[in-house]
Amino acid sequence: MSAQLPSHIYYFEVGAGGWAGTFRFKVTGWREMRRARIGVKNLLLVAAMQATQTVTGPSRLTSVVVPHPDEGERGVVDNAVRLSKFRIPLYDLHERYILSPDGQGVRVIAQEHFGPIPRIFSRSFEYPAQIRSDGLGSTYHMPLLGSPWTATYQVGMDRRSLAGELRCTWAEAHEQATRGDRP
């Protein structure tokens, strides 16, 4: 397989390994959120995230990206993401990225869990993503908290840092992470 495919640059060359950083979440429009009809469960999750971040600040973000270049047509990548505060898990996300033969498209199969108690706020879902043609950025279109979100990521000039911005009609989140030996 060619290492020049944008998805190979993004996941195999730049992304592989452990990442650590911060995650900030903010509701930007409570009225818009109520209009979005996200449901009681998601409303409770949003209120808990907003309250936690207001009182204690950004959450700790860790991610471990493991490429499997010989699986699928153009490779598969596993990503385990955790948000925590004071070592208490707030959110776990396990994703499998199925890389498209075109070198830019990605099908994401995801399992998420909110909170420290297993299986109460868990679900599985799928969504599309697109890797930028230079392999140094991405866009994910994911259903989160009862609404469609767009997440855009930009690799830093050093290829060891990543900035992410997630947005929906009523909230935004920001991620900053640096690759290291251990998340």
How large is the average pLDDT for residues 108-126? 90
Length of the chain: 183
pLDDT value for 120: 78
* C-alpha span between 80 and 94 (Å, rounded): 5
Instruction: Decide if pLDDT at 183 tops 70.
Output: no
Instruction: Decide if pLDDT at 182 tops 50.
Output: no
* C-alpha span between 69 and 71 (Å, rounded): 6
Structural domains present in the chain: 6-180 (2.40.128.20)
> Which of the two residues, 93 and 117, has the higher pLDDT score?
93
Of 1, 6, 16, the C-alpha closest to 132 is 6
User: Can you read off the two tokens belonging to residue 103?
Assistant: 């070198």
How large is the average pLDDT for residues 143-152? 97
pLDDT value for 4: 87
Instruction: Decide if pLDDT at 180 tops 90.
Output: no
pLDDT value for 65: 98
> Which of the two residues, 116 and 54, has the higher pLDDT score?
54
Query: C-alpha angle with apex 174: 162 to 65, nearest 5 degrees?
Result: 40
Instruction: Decide if pLDDT at 90 tops 60.
Output: yes
Please report which confidence band the pLDDT of residue 117 belongs to, taking 50, 70 and 90 as the band edges: confident
Tell me the per-residue pLDDT of 50-79, one tens digit each, with 9 for 90 and over: 999 999 999 999 999 999 999 999 999 999
pLDDT value for 181: 55
The residues, any chain, with a CB within 8 Å of residue 94's CB and separated by 6 or more, are 78, 79, 80, 81, 110, 111, 112
